[in-house]
A and B are shown apart, each in its own frame.
Chain A
């Protein structure tokens, strides 16, 4: 079975972003970029499936600017076999990304597609679900456990009330939650080897997909700043403040 993983280049999760002075967007100049943490988990899961002999090949795909090839190389260093870069400098939003991924699914015919549950920049949490709808495949979102069992996959999902397990027919779409696995770090020899692994470059036009969206970004603002308050010296003072100043007790 072939496994397709979608990876996204995003701002490193440790970076605290700033809004541009003209409020047109956030300022990403010279900001450290990395693979979206949920996508790292997706790659790790795919590679583990291969190590277990369940998957035969792991293909990583990204949609993004030229620089996004760094994240594909990371995926290759972590164990993916080959990569597809759909290059665009346009801001591809979830629906366009899902349409492109649907074309790749059509071409590659994977048994399983693994995506992150959300990208930590736009926090949309929708690409995997859209892909599932467009390909007419079942979905197991927010997965904390993925067990392939013959023609089916059992996915345990982190839901608001606890955990839910669903059984899906294959092929299926899975999106990862944080506790699915702990991704490994790429080792230097693997990083070297990754440079030689195949990486195909395509464009949205190759797939006949229009990237433009009907959603426009009007402005970006910083949220209301929260000011740090005071330090209290004792439990008594805390209770007094909560009762008499904040009036929440």
Chain B
């Protein structure tokens, strides 16, 4: 068996997610190659070559792959997928955008959001917002899979894979990049943070999210939000945790002014320790919280910050 892993890039650098996807590839077993596609991605390729268990890093460095638009990326994957038994990517917005195109063009199914590997053809994936876990078996010749990174611990960085250039240049006259507005933050990535503190509608407005800053600073935490907080315009969309936002599984998750709708729980209930701060002692979030503190967040947060 041989496995091709499409690497995630973040502003041209290798994103943390890829080390988790390589771990999933190791669980499947076989030779593992990584594909880096983008423009000016040598540094990402060097970083990928250090990941443990990687055989070869294939680098498609060309302007047509900048911003990893779906159309040329799909064509590239189709071109390169011959000879592989599995093609994997993280279930990031890039993986989700690109991989189904490969699957369709190869006339195979895609398994989305896989969080466990039983064998080379049998996998676990969440359905119904994680309220059920399906075991699915694929008899397709090529298995196209997106990986939920929280299901696999990242591999180490003591490898030394070979790096090889890919010559294929896809054509693309259908789509073009216009602009990107990326959130700028010095905090850790939501997906990889050890501690996450999230605010919900109870925060009242965007200004009040500053109450979370001091605590996040002290704990080295990433800041997340419920959909209600994002919809209300308190914070940008990239902070949304949940079924349709980001899936996180930190050591500590602190939910502040969040009621605990199933769609929100779907994104955080695999956290090791959950703390809920809510003024309503019947809020469903308390049913999953290890430690619940009933009270007004506007009093609790400043006290918590000063005592940490």
Contact = CB atoms under 8 A, between A and B. Distances in A.
A126 B237 CA distance: 21
B231 A179 contact: yes
B249 to A, nearest CB: 12
A232 interface: yes
A154 B176 CA distance: 10
Interface in B103-160: 103-105, 107-113, 122, 126-140
B137 A218 contact: yes
Contacts of A120: 128-129, 243
A154 B175 CA distance: 10
A108 B135 CA distance: 37
B273 interface: yes
Contacts of A178: 227, 231, 244
Contact of B288 (A16, A164, A169, A228): A228
Interface stretch (A75-83, A92-100, A187-195): A92-100
Contacts of A131: 104
A19 B281 CA distance: 29
Contacts, number: 253
A95 B109 contact: yes
- Which interface class (under 10, 10 to 19, 20 to 34, 35 or more) fits B? 35 or more
A13 B122 CA distance: 28
Q: Helix, strand, loop or mixed for chain A's interface?
A: mixed
Interface stretch (B27-35, B40-48, B63-71, B200-208): B63-71
Interface stretch (B54-62, B161-169, B179-187): B179-187
Contact of A218 (B104, B122, B244, B294): B122
Given A123-B129, A215-B111, A229-B291, A235 B251 contact: no
B119 to A, nearest CB: 11
Interface stretch (A43-51, A58-66, A155-163): A155-163
- Which interface class (under 10, 10 to 19, 20 to 34, 35 or more) fits A? 35 or more
A249 to B, nearest CB: 8
B134 A223 contact: no
Given A120-B129, A142-B93, A162-B182, A228 B275 contact: no
A88 interface: no
Contacts of B173: 169
A235 B110 CA distance: 47
A93 B137 CA distance: 14
A148 interface: no
A165 B237 contact: no
A163 B74 contact: no
B96 A141 contact: yes
A138 B175 contact: yes
B127 A26 contact: yes
A133 B238 CA distance: 27
B94 to A, nearest CB: 7
A218 B60 CA distance: 38
A94 B252 contact: no
A115 B205 CA distance: 32
Interface stretch (B18-26, B80-88, B299-307): B299-307
Interface in A88-137: 93-95, 98, 117-118, 120-127, 129-134, 137
A144 B233 CA distance: 13
Nearest to A233: B293
B173 to A, nearest CB: 7
A145 to B, nearest CB: 11
Contact of A231 (B113, B132, B237, B293): B293
Given A141-B70, A220-B132, 16 more contacts: A94-B110, A95-B108, A126-B110, A129-B70, A131-B104, A133-B101, A142-B93, A172-B174, A214-B138, A215-B138, A217-B134, A218-B135, A228-B287, A228-B289, A231-B286, A238-B291
14 contacts: A123-B128, A162-B182, A162-B236, A163-B181, A168-B175, A169-B174, A172-B174, A179-B230, A214-B108, A215-B137, A218-B137, A226-B274, A229-B289, A239-B307
Question: Which 3 residue pairs of A and B lie closest in terms of their CB atoms, listed nearest first?
Answer: A129-B100, A229-B290, A126-B100
